[in-house]
Structure 1
Amino acid sequence: MKIAVYAISKNEEAFVERFCQSAADADYIIIADTGSTDETVRLARDQGASVYPICIAPWRFDHARNAALALVPSDADICIALDLDEVMMPGWRAEIEKTWTSEATRMRYQFDWSEGVLFQGNKVHKRQGYFWRHPCHEALEIDRRLTETFCVSDMTLITHLPDPTKPRGQYLDLLRLSHAEDPACPRTAFFLAREFTYHSLWDEAVKALEDFLAMPDTWVLERCWAQRLLGKAHHKLGREEEARSWYLRSVGEAPWSREPWADLAAFAYDLKDWEACYFAAKSGLAVKNKSNTYVDRPDLWGYSLYDTAALAAYHLGLHAEAVSLGAQALELAPDEERLANNLEFYKEKAL
């Protein structure tokens, strides 16, 4: 069995050595460089990677990844698509060799996105029959003439170590293009609508989110997220009743996840609706399991919901409850001075 790791790069000198060292057990490390002006290419070659310059203009991620995949030698059996800010975990090759079957065309495994977000990845695939589609948030797809068969591992094979300085300014135009090319794709429709909110384009976001929700075969957690974003958009536009309605709908869509409860609590906090804030925050805390998907918010499994619930409890005159919740918040973030000060304040009021 021959395994190839392939990636695209541009000015990744801070990450390329770590990337190559983590993938050292691969038979091939293929990097398609899209115009680096730093030391990325030299450092990668020093680590034994095969680096090829490519030009993708106008830029789109799927064409770049397809160019990288085309550079993988034809005798490779399995390919692993990575970004330069991702690393393979120790023991990854032995796990693939143990899990892969003769019928398999693709593998599911655990992917550590960072900050406590862990979900199922699927970018390990057979050399033949796969291609990338969509200009942005590109997806790996199989040729329709073939049958896709998954093998599954519970091991965390890949970890993401994100670069917070990477710009995302090009995403909006690429997502507009992606949606124009495939207007019936719910995944692309959702990502475009979400991107509008990142740019505070609230009116465009409202229309795009409503269009997404009208589509068939949408995923429940993305529907819930879209409803929460509609709540946020209407709140930003000063339409509080519409906002409240959407936040409540998001809770009804996925009451078993913390995210809609947290967003409802934050909305109620802004309005100083302390009863709603307290109820929503406590309901979120009653959810004990993550969805283990990319929609999980890491902060909701720290102190934030305890802090929100404590503040609401104080405003409702529930001083003993505020002390209890405030203490739990501080236990989860003992270095947060504000939480310590709040707890002392709650204790004084409880006397």
Structure 2
Amino acid sequence: MKVSVYAICKNEETFARRWMESMSEADEVVVLDTGSSDHTAEILQELGAKVTKDAIIPWRFDTARNRSLDLVSMDTDICVCTDLDEVFHPGWRKLLEDAWQPGTGQASYRYTWSFNSDGSEGVVFWCQKIHARKNYRWTHPVHEVLTWVGPGAAKPIVTIDRIQLDHHPDPNKSRGQYLPLLELSVKEDPNDDRNVHYLGREYFFYHRWEECIATLMHHLSMPTATWKDERSASMRYIAKSCLMLGDSQQARNWYLQAIAEAPHLREPYMDLAQMLYESQEWDGVLYFTECALSITQRPRSYICEAAPWGSLPHDLRCMAFYHTGRPLQALEEARLALTLEPENSRLQGNVTLLEQINSGGSSQSFQFLTTSQE
């Protein structure tokens, strides 16, 4: 079975050696360099990659990925698409071969998109960029997706939980091209609800609150927008935009709708809990954080965020218990928060101060700092 890795790159000499070491289990590594001015291409070639240089004008991620896929040898059985800022855990090749059956189209595997400051996992979801050589193409200018273009139904997907790919991006890398490419993507395919959601979310990142609300309201009205998780996320971004525009009542209403849309997700409960924390509505904080913590199965989609699965729920509960005169319960929650984020000095301080309070010490010096989300 022949396994080939393919990628696109531009000015990523910082990652080139680490990436090549991670991809060394493949039989072939091909890279499309789209205009590096550093030594990325030379390093990759030195370490055995086949590098082709080609400018993609106008720039589109799908065009670049398809051009790199075209470089993969036709006798390849399995194609593995990664980026140079990503790293497989060792042994991925054998896991892939053991799970891959005749007729398999794609593999789904665990992907850590971000890490917390203490090195623990942040956003985690399952990725599907491993695929059979024939009849697959990338579509959409940005947030590109792998699409089956062969006859009949798409081939089955095999899930391989033990394959782990980690993302360690350059924090200084600009995402400035995303917004115009998303606007282009929606213009090209206005019926694609996924990219309408992404565009509304991008408007939020750019602080364009009214456009965010209008775009995501449109997303919710689309007949094809049926995935509950993403619909709930649109409602949450609408709520956040309402907050930024000073309309807290509308924000509250949208958060409640987001909860009703996807009650299996922690995120909408925690967003509302944080809003109530800001207005010091402590009973509400306790109720909605309890709802969030009752969800113990972490979803596998990209909608799943890091904070609701970290120390934040217990951190907020600690504050709510303290401000309602229950220091013992506050200490219990503070310890739980610290267990999930043991290097956090603020959480360490909360535990120490609450231990003093519960042992009869003075509370005059006790202060809660802002939450990790602020």
State the shift of 1:49 in Å: 0.2
* Distance change in 2, residues 1:149/1:157 (3 Å): farther
* Distance change in 2, residues 1:222/1:347 (3 Å): same
* Equivalence map 1:200-211=2 (5 Å): 200-211=207-218
Q: Which of these residues, 339, 350, 357, is aligned with residue 342 of structure 1?
A: 350
Provide the rounded CA distance (Å) in 1 between the counterparts of 2:73 and 2:347.
Answer: 56
- Show the counterpart of 2:41: 41
- Show the counterpart of 1:219: 227
Which has the larger displacement, 40-49 or 313-322? Answer: 313-322
Q: Which amino acid aligns with 2:82?
A: L
State the shift of 1:151 in Å: 4.1
Q: Which of these residues, 277, 281, 287, is aligned with residue 289 of structure 2?
A: 281
Over residues 179-204 of structure 1, what are the superposed CA-to-partner deviations in whole Å (9 max), with x where a residue is unaligned?
Answer: 11111111111111111111111000
Q: Which of these residues, 172, 175, 183, is aligned with residue 182 of structure 2?
A: 175
Q: Which runs of no fewer than 5 residues in structure 2 stay unpaired?
A: 116-120, 361-374
State the shift of 1:348 in Å: 5.6
- Show the counterpart of 1:150: 156
Provide the rounded CA distance (Å) in 1 between the counterparts of 2:104 and 2:53.
Answer: 32
* Equivalence map 1:49-88=2 (5 Å): 49-88=49-88
Over residues 107-131 of structure 1, what are the superposed CA-to-partner deviations in whole Å (9 max), with x where a residue is unaligned?
Answer: 2233333433433221111211111
- Show the counterpart of 2:118: none
State the shift of 1:26 in Å: 1.7
* Distance change in 2, residues 1:332/1:26 (3 Å): closer
CA contact (8 A) 1:7 1:84 kept: yes
- Show the counterpart of 1:89: 89
Q: Which amino acid aligns with 1:52?
A: T
State the shift of 1:154 in Å: 2.8
* Distance change in 2, residues 1:25/1:339 (3 Å): closer
State the shift of 1:349 in Å: 5.4
Over residues 20-44 of structure 1, what are the superposed CA-to-partner deviations in whole Å (9 max), with x where a residue is unaligned?
Answer: 1211122211100000011100100
Provide the rounded CA distance (Å) in 2 between the counterparts of 1:2 and 1:342.
Answer: 55
Q: Which amino acid aligns with 2:299?
A: S
Which has the larger displacement, 336-345 or 174-183? Answer: 336-345
Q: Percent identity?
A: 39
Q: Which amino acid aligns with 1:190?
A: H
User: TM-score, length-normalised on structure 1?
Assistant: 0.94
* Distance change in 2, residues 1:336/1:159 (3 Å): closer
Which has the larger displacement, 211-220 or 25-34? Answer: 211-220
Instruction: Tell me whether 1:112 sits opposite 2:136 in the alignment.
Output: no
Instruction: Tell me whether 1:305 sits opposite 2:307 in the alignment.
Output: no
* Distance change in 2, residues 1:181/1:346 (3 Å): same
Q: Which of these residues, 325, 332, 357, is aligned with residue 324 of structure 1?
A: 332
- Show the counterpart of 2:135: 129
- Show the counterpart of 1:16: 16
Provide the rounded CA distance (Å) in 1 between the counterparts of 2:300 and 2:57.
Answer: 36
Q: Which runs of no fewer than 5 residues in structure 1 stay unpaired?
A: none
State the shift of 1:56 in Å: 0.7
**Equivalent residue pairs, number:** 351
* Distance change in 2, residues 1:270/1:20 (3 Å): same
Q: Which of these residues, 263, 267, 280, is aligned with residue 272 of structure 1?
A: 280
* Distance change in 2, residues 1:26/1:284 (3 Å): same
Over residues 199-238 of structure 1, what are the superposed CA-to-partner deviations in whole Å (9 max), with x where a residue is unaligned?
Answer: 1110000001111111123311111111111110101101
User: TM-score, length-normalised on structure 2?
Assistant: 0.89
- Show the counterpart of 1:263: 271
* Distance change in 2, residues 1:245/1:202 (3 Å): same
Q: Which of these residues, 197, 206, 230, is aligned with residue 190 of structure 1?
A: 197
Provide the rounded CA distance (Å) in 1 between the counterparts of 2:125 and 2:325.
Answer: 40
Over residues 36-63 of structure 1, what are the superposed CA-to-partner deviations in whole Å (9 max), with x where a residue is unaligned?
Answer: 0111001000110000001111111111
- Show the counterpart of 2:168: 161
Over residues 268-323 of structure 1, what are the superposed CA-to-partner deviations in whole Å (9 max), with x where a residue is unaligned?
Answer: 11222222122112222222221122122222222211111111222222332222
